[in-house]
Protein backbone atom coordinates (compact mmCIF):
# COMPACT_ATOMS: atom_id res chain seq x y z
CA UNK A 1 0.00 0.00 0.00
CA UNK A 2 2.89 2.41 0.72
CA UNK A 3 3.17 5.38 -1.67
CA UNK A 4 0.66 3.99 -4.15
CA UNK A 5 -2.41 6.25 -4.02
CA UNK A 6 -2.56 9.36 -6.21
CA UNK A 7 -4.75 11.53 -4.00
CA UNK A 8 -5.65 11.82 -0.33
CA UNK A 9 -8.70 13.38 1.30
CA UNK A 10 -9.39 14.16 4.95
CA UNK A 11 -13.04 14.49 5.97
CA UNK A 12 -15.36 11.78 4.71
CA UNK A 13 -18.69 13.50 5.24
CA UNK A 14 -21.12 13.69 2.32
CA UNK A 15 -19.00 16.20 0.37
CA UNK A 16 -15.72 14.40 1.05
CA UNK A 17 -17.05 10.94 0.25
CA UNK A 18 -18.62 12.14 -3.00
CA UNK A 19 -15.48 14.02 -4.06
CA UNK A 20 -13.14 11.09 -3.45
CA UNK A 21 -15.43 8.73 -5.37
CA UNK A 22 -15.43 11.25 -8.21
CA UNK A 23 -11.61 11.19 -8.19
CA UNK A 24 -11.63 7.38 -8.39
CA UNK A 25 -14.22 7.38 -11.18
CA UNK A 26 -11.86 9.51 -13.23
CA UNK A 27 -8.95 7.09 -13.08
CA UNK A 28 -6.99 8.29 -10.03
CA UNK A 29 -6.56 6.08 -6.96
CA UNK A 30 -7.67 7.84 -3.79
CA UNK A 31 -7.20 7.28 -0.06
CA UNK A 32 -9.45 8.78 2.59
CA UNK A 33 -9.03 9.63 6.25
CA UNK A 34 -11.60 10.33 8.95
CA UNK A 35 -11.78 9.85 12.71
CA UNK A 36 -15.20 8.23 12.31
CA UNK A 37 -14.83 4.50 11.58
CA UNK A 38 -18.38 4.33 10.20
CA UNK A 39 -17.53 6.91 7.52
CA UNK A 40 -14.33 5.07 6.68
CA UNK A 41 -16.17 1.77 6.33
CA UNK A 42 -18.95 3.37 4.27
CA UNK A 43 -16.43 4.76 1.79
CA UNK A 44 -14.59 1.45 1.42
CA UNK A 45 -17.88 -0.34 0.84
CA UNK A 46 -19.15 2.20 -1.70
CA UNK A 47 -15.77 2.39 -3.46
CA UNK A 48 -15.75 -1.34 -4.09
CA UNK A 49 -12.15 -1.83 -5.27
CA UNK A 50 -9.68 -0.96 -2.46
CA UNK A 51 -6.91 -0.53 -5.01
CA UNK A 52 -8.85 2.45 -6.34
CA UNK A 53 -10.54 3.74 -3.16
CA UNK A 54 -9.47 3.01 0.39
CA UNK A 55 -9.62 4.76 3.76
CA UNK A 56 -8.40 4.64 7.35
CA UNK A 57 -8.82 6.38 10.69
CA UNK A 58 -5.02 6.30 11.20
CA UNK A 59 -3.27 9.49 10.00
CA UNK A 60 0.13 7.76 9.69
CA UNK A 61 -1.25 4.93 7.56
CA UNK A 62 -3.08 7.54 5.48
CA UNK A 63 -0.02 9.68 4.77
CA UNK A 64 2.25 6.70 4.04
CA UNK A 65 -0.24 5.39 1.48
CA UNK A 66 0.12 8.45 -0.77
CA UNK A 67 2.53 8.93 -3.67
CA UNK A 68 4.92 11.89 -3.49
CA UNK A 69 4.59 14.76 -3.57
CA UNK A 70 1.57 13.93 -1.46
CA UNK A 71 -1.63 15.68 -2.53
CA UNK A 72 -3.95 15.92 0.46
CA UNK A 73 -7.28 17.73 0.30
CA UNK A 74 -9.19 18.78 3.42
CA UNK A 75 -12.97 18.85 3.27
CA UNK A 76 -13.68 19.73 6.87
CA UNK A 77 -15.59 22.65 8.45
CA UNK A 78 -13.82 26.02 8.23
CA UNK A 79 -12.09 27.38 11.31
CA UNK A 80 -10.06 25.73 14.04
CA UNK A 81 -10.70 22.22 12.70
CA UNK A 82 -8.61 23.03 9.60
CA UNK A 83 -5.69 24.11 11.80
CA UNK A 84 -6.08 21.00 13.97
CA UNK A 85 -5.97 18.69 10.93
CA UNK A 86 -2.90 20.48 9.57
CA UNK A 87 -1.06 20.11 12.89
CA UNK A 88 -1.98 16.43 13.00
CA UNK A 89 -0.59 15.83 9.50
CA UNK A 90 2.48 18.05 9.68
CA UNK A 91 4.90 15.68 11.50
CA UNK A 92 4.11 12.98 8.94
CA UNK A 93 4.73 15.04 5.80
CA UNK A 94 7.85 15.59 3.70
CA UNK A 95 9.13 18.75 2.06
CA UNK A 96 7.24 19.52 -1.13
CA UNK A 97 4.01 17.80 -0.08
CA UNK A 98 0.77 19.64 -0.80
CA UNK A 99 -2.22 20.40 1.45
CA UNK A 100 -5.38 21.72 -0.21
CA UNK A 101 -8.15 23.34 1.84
CA UNK A 102 -11.38 22.65 -0.03
CA UNK A 103 -13.68 24.24 2.55
CA UNK A 104 -15.13 27.73 2.85
CA UNK A 105 -12.23 29.17 4.85
CA UNK A 106 -11.98 32.93 5.35
CA UNK A 107 -9.34 34.24 2.97
CA UNK A 108 -7.08 35.74 5.66
CA UNK A 109 -6.90 32.31 7.36
CA UNK A 110 -5.67 30.87 4.07
CA UNK A 111 -2.96 33.55 3.82
CA UNK A 112 -1.86 32.76 7.37
CA UNK A 113 -1.75 29.01 6.78
CA UNK A 114 0.12 29.35 3.52
CA UNK A 115 2.85 31.48 5.14
CA UNK A 116 3.08 29.11 8.13
CA UNK A 117 3.43 25.98 5.98
CA UNK A 118 5.77 27.60 3.47
CA UNK A 119 8.31 28.06 6.26
CA UNK A 120 8.10 24.31 6.85
CA UNK A 121 8.55 23.40 3.19
CA UNK A 122 4.92 22.37 2.68
CA UNK A 123 2.81 23.77 -0.17
CA UNK A 124 -0.65 24.98 0.74
CA UNK A 125 -3.49 26.37 -1.30
CA UNK A 126 -7.17 27.04 -0.89
CA UNK A 127 -9.59 25.61 -3.44
CA UNK A 128 -13.21 26.64 -3.25
CA UNK A 129 -15.54 23.82 -4.31
CA UNK A 130 -19.07 24.68 -5.43
CA UNK A 131 -21.92 22.47 -6.47
CA UNK A 132 -23.01 20.87 -3.23
CA UNK A 133 -22.94 17.14 -2.60
CA UNK A 134 -24.21 16.28 -6.10
CA UNK A 135 -21.60 18.54 -7.67
CA UNK A 136 -18.82 16.90 -5.67
CA UNK A 137 -19.91 13.54 -7.06
CA UNK A 138 -20.74 14.47 -10.64
CA UNK A 139 -18.46 17.44 -11.24
CA UNK A 140 -18.13 20.67 -9.24
CA UNK A 141 -16.71 24.06 -10.17
CA UNK A 142 -13.32 24.31 -8.44
CA UNK A 143 -11.57 27.59 -7.58
CA UNK A 144 -7.90 26.99 -6.63
CA UNK A 145 -5.42 29.65 -5.56
CA UNK A 146 -1.95 29.51 -4.02
CA UNK A 147 1.34 28.17 -5.33
CA UNK A 148 1.18 27.94 -9.14
CA UNK A 149 3.91 25.29 -9.09
CA UNK A 150 2.12 23.15 -6.52
CA UNK A 151 -1.12 23.42 -8.48
CA UNK A 152 0.50 21.75 -11.48
CA UNK A 153 0.67 18.50 -9.48
CA UNK A 154 -3.06 18.61 -8.79
CA UNK A 155 -4.18 20.10 -12.09
CA UNK A 156 -4.77 16.77 -13.93
CA UNK A 157 -6.95 15.49 -11.08
CA UNK A 158 -8.96 18.70 -10.70
CA UNK A 159 -9.51 19.03 -14.45
CA UNK A 160 -10.72 15.42 -14.59
CA UNK A 161 -13.19 15.67 -11.69
CA UNK A 162 -14.55 19.17 -12.36
CA UNK A 163 -17.76 19.96 -14.21
CA UNK A 164 -17.46 20.45 -17.96
CA UNK A 165 -19.02 23.22 -20.05
CA UNK A 166 -18.98 22.26 -23.72
CA UNK A 167 -16.02 20.02 -22.92
CA UNK A 168 -14.03 22.65 -21.02
CA UNK A 169 -13.21 21.90 -17.35
CA UNK A 170 -14.71 24.31 -14.82
CA UNK A 171 -11.45 24.81 -12.95
CA UNK A 172 -8.42 27.00 -13.50
CA UNK A 173 -5.55 28.39 -11.46
CA UNK A 174 -6.87 31.73 -10.19
CA UNK A 175 -3.91 33.42 -8.52
CA UNK A 176 -1.51 33.47 -5.59
CA UNK A 177 -2.19 33.31 -1.85
CA UNK A 178 -5.87 33.13 -0.93
CA UNK A 179 -7.23 33.95 -4.40
CA UNK A 180 -9.21 30.70 -4.56
CA UNK A 181 -10.94 31.08 -1.21
CA UNK A 182 -11.63 34.75 -1.91
CA UNK A 183 -13.29 33.99 -5.25
CA UNK A 184 -15.38 31.27 -3.60
CA UNK A 185 -16.43 33.75 -0.90
CA UNK A 186 -17.68 36.25 -3.48
CA UNK A 187 -19.30 33.40 -5.42
CA UNK A 188 -21.30 32.67 -2.29
CA UNK A 189 -22.16 36.35 -1.86
CA UNK A 190 -23.59 36.42 -5.40
CA UNK A 191 -25.43 33.22 -4.51
CA UNK A 192 -27.07 34.98 -1.55
CA UNK A 193 -28.20 37.78 -3.85
CA UNK A 194 -29.62 35.49 -6.53
CA UNK A 195 -31.50 33.39 -3.96
CA UNK A 196 -33.02 36.50 -2.35
CA UNK A 197 -34.11 37.88 -5.72
CA UNK A 198 -35.66 34.58 -6.76
CA UNK A 199 -37.59 34.33 -3.50
CA UNK A 200 -38.96 37.87 -3.92
CA UNK A 201 -40.25 37.20 -7.43
CA UNK A 202 -41.84 33.97 -6.18
CA UNK A 203 -43.52 35.93 -3.36
CA UNK A 204 -44.71 38.67 -5.69
CA UNK A 205 -46.21 36.25 -8.20
CA UNK A 206 -47.93 34.32 -5.42
CA UNK A 207 -49.35 37.28 -3.47
CA UNK A 208 -50.08 39.74 -6.27
CA UNK A 209 -50.30 37.54 -9.34
CA UNK A 210 -52.34 34.89 -7.56
CA UNK A 211 -50.32 32.06 -9.12
CA UNK A 212 -50.75 28.61 -7.61
CA UNK A 213 -47.69 26.54 -6.78
CA UNK A 214 -48.32 24.50 -9.93
CA UNK A 215 -48.47 27.66 -12.02
CA UNK A 216 -45.33 28.93 -10.33
CA UNK A 217 -43.61 25.62 -11.06
CA UNK A 218 -44.59 25.92 -14.72
CA UNK A 219 -43.46 29.55 -14.86
CA UNK A 220 -39.99 28.94 -13.41
CA UNK A 221 -39.58 25.81 -15.55
CA UNK A 222 -40.40 27.86 -18.65
CA UNK A 223 -38.03 30.65 -17.59
CA UNK A 224 -35.28 28.07 -17.20
CA UNK A 225 -35.55 27.36 -20.93
CA UNK A 226 -34.76 30.98 -21.77
CA UNK A 227 -32.31 33.71 -20.75
CA UNK A 228 -32.89 33.01 -17.04
CA UNK A 229 -31.56 29.46 -17.47
CA UNK A 230 -29.72 28.73 -14.24
CA UNK A 231 -29.34 26.18 -11.49
CA UNK A 232 -31.29 28.28 -8.98
CA UNK A 233 -34.24 28.89 -11.32
CA UNK A 234 -34.25 25.18 -12.20
CA UNK A 235 -34.34 23.98 -8.61
CA UNK A 236 -36.94 26.64 -7.74
CA UNK A 237 -39.30 25.06 -10.29
CA UNK A 238 -38.64 21.63 -8.78
CA UNK A 239 -39.16 22.82 -5.20
CA UNK A 240 -42.51 24.35 -6.15
CA UNK A 241 -43.70 20.99 -7.54
CA UNK A 242 -42.69 18.94 -4.48
CA UNK A 243 -45.58 17.43 -2.52
CA UNK A 244 -45.37 17.17 1.26
CA UNK A 245 -45.01 13.66 2.70
CA UNK A 246 -46.63 14.65 6.01
CA UNK A 247 -49.70 16.55 4.76
CA UNK A 248 -51.85 16.74 1.66
CA UNK A 249 -50.27 20.05 0.64
CA UNK A 250 -47.15 21.28 -1.11
CA UNK A 251 -43.87 21.12 0.78
CA UNK A 252 -42.86 24.73 0.04
CA UNK A 253 -45.88 25.99 2.02
CA UNK A 254 -44.87 23.92 5.06
CA UNK A 255 -41.25 25.16 5.28
CA UNK A 256 -40.68 27.73 8.03
CA UNK A 257 -39.68 31.13 6.65
CA UNK A 258 -36.44 31.41 8.64
CA UNK A 259 -33.33 31.22 6.45
CA UNK A 260 -30.04 30.30 8.06
CA UNK A 261 -26.51 31.14 6.93
CA UNK A 262 -22.95 29.92 7.36
CA UNK A 263 -21.23 33.29 7.08
CA UNK A 264 -19.82 33.53 3.57
CA UNK A 265 -22.44 36.05 2.44
CA UNK A 266 -21.73 38.18 5.50
CA UNK A 267 -17.98 37.96 4.84
CA UNK A 268 -18.54 39.15 1.27
CA UNK A 269 -20.62 42.09 2.45
CA UNK A 270 -18.19 43.06 5.22
CA UNK A 271 -15.16 42.84 2.97
CA UNK A 272 -16.87 44.88 0.25
CA UNK A 273 -17.36 47.64 2.81
CA UNK A 274 -13.68 47.41 3.75
CA UNK A 275 -12.75 47.79 0.08
CA UNK A 276 -15.26 50.57 -0.52
CA UNK A 277 -17.12 48.58 -3.19
CA UNK A 278 -20.96 48.78 -3.22
CA UNK A 279 -22.74 45.41 -3.22
CA UNK A 280 -26.23 46.42 -1.98
CA UNK A 281 -28.01 43.39 -3.47
CA UNK A 282 -25.72 41.09 -1.49
CA UNK A 283 -25.92 43.31 1.60
CA UNK A 284 -29.71 43.17 1.75
CA UNK A 285 -29.74 39.43 1.06
CA UNK A 286 -27.69 38.95 4.23
CA UNK A 287 -29.94 41.36 6.16
CA UNK A 288 -33.10 39.58 5.02
CA UNK A 289 -31.85 36.28 6.44
CA UNK A 290 -31.28 38.12 9.70
CA UNK A 291 -34.78 39.65 9.58
CA UNK A 292 -36.24 36.24 8.79
CA UNK A 293 -34.74 34.89 12.01
CA UNK A 294 -36.92 37.34 13.99
CA UNK A 295 -40.01 35.20 13.40
CA UNK A 296 -41.72 35.77 16.75
CA UNK A 297 -41.22 39.53 16.53
CA UNK A 298 -42.45 39.57 12.94
CA UNK A 299 -45.66 37.79 13.96
CA UNK A 300 -46.32 40.40 16.68
CA UNK A 301 -45.50 43.30 14.37
CA UNK A 302 -47.80 41.90 11.68
CA UNK A 303 -50.69 42.13 14.15
CA UNK A 304 -49.92 45.77 14.98
CA UNK A 305 -49.81 47.28 11.51
CA UNK A 306 -52.22 47.40 8.58
CA UNK A 307 -51.06 46.25 5.17
CA UNK A 308 -52.66 47.09 1.83
CA UNK A 309 -54.45 44.36 -0.07
CA UNK A 310 -52.57 43.78 -3.34
CA UNK A 311 -54.27 45.46 -6.30
CA UNK A 312 -55.46 43.23 -9.10
CA UNK A 313 -53.05 42.68 -11.98
CA UNK A 314 -53.13 41.10 -15.41
CA UNK A 315 -51.55 37.73 -14.65
CA UNK A 316 -49.85 37.14 -18.01
CA UNK A 317 -48.49 40.68 -18.16
CA UNK A 318 -47.32 40.48 -14.56
CA UNK A 319 -45.45 37.21 -15.20
CA UNK A 320 -43.75 38.75 -18.23
CA UNK A 321 -42.63 41.78 -16.23
CA UNK A 322 -41.42 39.51 -13.40
CA UNK A 323 -39.19 37.63 -15.84
CA UNK A 324 -37.68 40.88 -17.11
CA UNK A 325 -37.18 42.26 -13.60
CA UNK A 326 -35.51 39.08 -12.37
CA UNK A 327 -33.17 39.06 -15.38
CA UNK A 328 -32.29 42.71 -14.72
CA UNK A 329 -31.62 42.01 -11.04
CA UNK A 330 -29.52 38.91 -11.79
CA UNK A 331 -27.28 41.11 -13.94
CA UNK A 332 -26.94 43.58 -11.06
CA UNK A 333 -25.97 40.83 -8.59
CA UNK A 334 -23.27 39.46 -10.91
CA UNK A 335 -22.06 42.99 -11.71
CA UNK A 336 -21.60 43.79 -8.02
CA UNK A 337 -19.76 40.55 -7.27
CA UNK A 338 -17.44 40.90 -10.26
CA UNK A 339 -16.77 44.53 -9.33
CA UNK A 340 -15.69 43.38 -5.87
CA UNK A 341 -13.40 40.74 -7.38
CA UNK A 342 -11.81 43.33 -9.68
CA UNK A 343 -11.02 45.66 -6.80
CA UNK A 344 -9.87 42.87 -4.44
CA UNK A 345 -7.50 41.64 -7.14
CA UNK A 346 -5.71 44.98 -7.10
CA UNK A 347 -5.82 45.35 -3.33
CA UNK A 348 -4.56 41.85 -2.49
CA UNK A 349 -2.35 41.17 -5.52
CA UNK A 350 -4.43 38.25 -6.79
CA UNK A 351 -4.05 39.08 -10.51
CA UNK A 352 -7.51 37.67 -11.18
CA UNK A 353 -8.79 37.13 -14.71
CA UNK A 354 -12.52 37.87 -14.39
CA UNK A 355 -13.26 36.24 -17.74
CA UNK A 356 -11.69 32.99 -16.52
CA UNK A 357 -13.67 33.17 -13.27
CA UNK A 358 -16.98 33.62 -15.09
CA UNK A 359 -15.91 30.81 -17.41
CA UNK A 360 -15.42 28.24 -14.63
CA UNK A 361 -18.77 29.25 -13.11
CA UNK A 362 -20.69 28.27 -16.25
CA UNK A 363 -21.25 24.70 -15.01
CA UNK A 364 -21.01 22.75 -11.76
CA UNK A 365 -21.48 25.58 -9.28
CA UNK A 366 -24.59 26.91 -7.51
CA UNK A 367 -24.60 30.22 -9.43
CA UNK A 368 -24.17 28.61 -12.85
CA UNK A 369 -26.37 30.31 -15.41
CA UNK A 370 -26.64 30.90 -19.13
CA UNK A 371 -25.91 34.55 -18.40
CA UNK A 372 -22.35 33.64 -17.41
CA UNK A 373 -21.46 32.89 -21.02
CA UNK A 374 -22.23 36.53 -21.83
CA UNK A 375 -20.33 37.70 -18.75
CA UNK A 376 -17.33 35.60 -19.81
CA UNK A 377 -17.38 37.22 -23.24
CA UNK A 378 -17.63 40.73 -21.77
CA UNK A 379 -14.55 40.31 -19.57
CA UNK A 380 -12.64 38.48 -22.28
CA UNK A 381 -13.28 41.41 -24.63
CA UNK A 382 -12.00 43.90 -22.03
CA UNK A 383 -9.75 42.41 -19.36
CA UNK A 384 -9.66 45.76 -17.52
CA UNK A 385 -13.44 46.20 -17.46
CA UNK A 386 -14.16 47.59 -13.94
CA UNK A 387 -17.89 46.89 -14.00
CA UNK A 388 -20.20 44.79 -16.16
CA UNK A 389 -22.50 47.80 -16.59
CA UNK A 390 -19.75 49.51 -18.60
CA UNK A 391 -19.73 46.73 -21.18
CA UNK A 392 -21.51 47.71 -24.40
CA UNK A 393 -22.72 44.14 -24.71
CA UNK A 394 -24.84 44.54 -21.56
CA UNK A 395 -26.37 47.96 -22.22
CA UNK A 396 -29.28 46.63 -24.29
CA UNK A 397 -29.90 43.73 -21.89
CA UNK A 398 -30.32 46.23 -19.05
CA UNK A 399 -32.14 48.94 -21.01
CA UNK A 400 -34.79 46.48 -22.19
CA UNK A 401 -35.58 45.14 -18.69
CA UNK A 402 -35.08 48.01 -16.22
CA UNK A 403 -38.58 49.47 -16.78
CA UNK A 404 -40.16 46.24 -15.53
CA UNK A 405 -37.96 46.36 -12.44
CA UNK A 406 -39.16 49.93 -11.81
CA UNK A 407 -42.79 48.92 -12.23
CA UNK A 408 -42.55 45.96 -9.86
CA UNK A 409 -40.61 47.87 -7.20
CA UNK A 410 -43.29 50.55 -7.34
CA UNK A 411 -46.04 47.94 -7.12
CA UNK A 412 -44.37 46.28 -4.14
CA UNK A 413 -44.04 49.59 -2.28
CA UNK A 414 -47.65 50.56 -2.92
CA UNK A 415 -49.01 47.17 -1.93
CA UNK A 416 -46.87 46.29 1.07
CA UNK A 417 -44.92 43.45 -0.51
CA UNK A 418 -41.23 43.65 0.47
CA UNK A 419 -38.86 43.55 -2.50
CA UNK A 420 -35.59 44.66 -0.92
CA UNK A 421 -33.29 42.75 -3.27
CA UNK A 422 -35.02 44.04 -6.39
CA UNK A 423 -35.27 47.53 -4.94
CA UNK A 424 -31.59 47.61 -3.97
CA UNK A 425 -30.63 46.31 -7.40
CA UNK A 426 -32.57 49.13 -9.03
CA UNK A 427 -31.13 51.74 -6.67
CA UNK A 428 -27.63 50.46 -7.39
CA UNK A 429 -28.22 50.78 -11.11
CA UNK A 430 -29.70 54.28 -10.84
CA UNK A 431 -26.89 55.49 -8.59
CA UNK A 432 -24.06 53.89 -10.58
CA UNK A 433 -25.38 55.34 -13.83
CA UNK A 434 -25.94 58.87 -12.41
CA UNK A 435 -23.27 61.41 -13.30
CA UNK A 436 -24.49 63.64 -10.46
CA UNK A 437 -25.52 62.41 -6.99
CA UNK A 438 -26.64 64.49 -3.98
CA UNK A 439 -23.50 63.59 -2.04
CA UNK A 440 -22.30 67.17 -2.52
CA UNK A 441 -24.73 68.07 0.27
CA UNK A 442 -23.26 65.35 2.51
CA UNK A 443 -19.77 66.77 1.95
CA UNK A 444 -21.13 70.20 2.87
CA UNK A 445 -22.64 68.75 6.06
CA UNK A 446 -19.39 67.00 6.95
CA UNK A 447 -17.43 70.18 6.48
CA UNK A 448 -20.01 72.17 8.49
CA UNK A 449 -19.94 70.04 11.63
CA UNK A 450 -16.48 68.49 11.41
CA UNK A 451 -14.32 70.67 9.16
CA UNK A 452 -13.77 67.60 6.96
CA UNK A 453 -13.22 69.77 3.83
CA UNK A 454 -14.56 69.22 0.33
CA UNK A 455 -13.52 69.37 -3.31
CA UNK A 456 -15.05 71.63 -5.95
CA UNK A 457 -16.33 70.97 -9.47
CA UNK A 458 -14.75 74.09 -10.95
CA UNK A 459 -11.15 73.96 -9.69
CA UNK A 460 -8.53 71.65 -8.19
CA UNK A 461 -7.74 71.59 -4.49
CA UNK A 462 -9.17 70.92 -1.04
CA UNK A 463 -11.50 73.52 0.46
CA UNK A 464 -13.06 74.42 3.81
CA UNK A 465 -15.74 76.98 4.63
CA UNK A 466 -16.40 78.76 7.94
CA UNK A 467 -20.10 78.02 7.85
CA UNK A 468 -21.26 79.52 11.13
CA UNK A 469 -21.36 83.29 11.24
CA UNK A 470 -20.39 85.12 14.41
Environment class of residue 257 by beta-carbon count within 10 Å: exposed (0-12), middle (13-18) or buried (19+)?
Answer: exposed
pLDDT band at 276 (very low <50, low <70, confident <90, very high): very high
User: What residues does 8 pair with on adjacent strands?
Assistant: 31, 72
Q: What is the pLDDT of residues 330-363, one digit of tens each?
A: 999 999 999 999 999 999 999 999 999 999 999 9
Q: What is the pLDDT of residues 30-69, one digit of tens each?
A: 999 999 999 999 999 888 877 899 999 999 999 999 999 9
pLDDT at 295: 95
Q: What is the pLDDT of residues 137-193, one digit of tens each?
A: 999 999 999 999 889 999 999 999 999 999 999 999 999 999 999 999 999 999 999
Say if residues 23 and 66 touch (Cβ distance below 8 Å). no
Say if residues 43 and 17 touch (Cβ distance below 8 Å). yes
- The percent of residues above 90 in pLDDT, for the chain, comes to 89
pLDDT at 470: 60
Q: β-strand 123-130 against 98-101: which pairing, if any?
A: parallel
Which sign does the torsion angle of CA 110, 114, 116, 117 carry?
A: positive
CA 33, CA 54: separation in Å to the nearest integer? 9
pLDDT at 1: 56
pLDDT at 279: 98
Give the residue numbers marked as catalytic. 184, 191
pLDDT at 263: 75
Mean model confidence pLDDT for the chain: 94
User: Angle at Cα 313 formed by Cα 311 and Cα 314, nearest 5°?
Assistant: 170
pLDDT at 379: 96
Q: What is the pLDDT of residues 86-145, one digit of tens each?
A: 999 999 999 999 999 998 899 999 999 999 999 999 999 999 999 888 888 999 999 999
Q: Mean of the pLDDT values across residues 374-396?
A: 96
CA 423, CA 410: separation in Å to the nearest integer? 9
- The percent of residues above 70 in pLDDT, for the chain, comes to 99
CA 156, CA 168: separation in Å to the nearest integer? 13
pLDDT band at 460 (very low <50, low <70, confident <90, very high): very high
Say if residues 431 and 437 touch (Cβ distance below 8 Å). yes
pLDDT at 2: 62
Which sign does the torsion angle of CA 268, 271, 273, 276 carry?
A: negative
- The reported pTM is 0.94
CA 217, CA 212: separation in Å to the nearest integer? 8
Number of residues that this document lists for the chain:
470
pLDDT at 78: 86
Amino acid sequence: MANTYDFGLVGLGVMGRNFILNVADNGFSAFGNDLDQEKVSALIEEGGDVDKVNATTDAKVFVEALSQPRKIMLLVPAGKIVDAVIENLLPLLDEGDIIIDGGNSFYTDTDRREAYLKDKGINFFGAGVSGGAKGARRGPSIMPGGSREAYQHVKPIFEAVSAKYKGEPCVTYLGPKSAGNYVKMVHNGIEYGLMQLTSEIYDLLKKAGGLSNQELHNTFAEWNKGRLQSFLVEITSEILAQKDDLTDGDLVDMILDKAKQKGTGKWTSQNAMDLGIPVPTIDIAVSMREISALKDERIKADELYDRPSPKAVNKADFVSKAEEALYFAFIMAYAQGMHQLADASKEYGYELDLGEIAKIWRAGCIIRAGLLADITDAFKADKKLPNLLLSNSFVQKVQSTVSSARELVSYGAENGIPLPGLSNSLTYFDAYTSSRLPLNLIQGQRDYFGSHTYERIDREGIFHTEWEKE
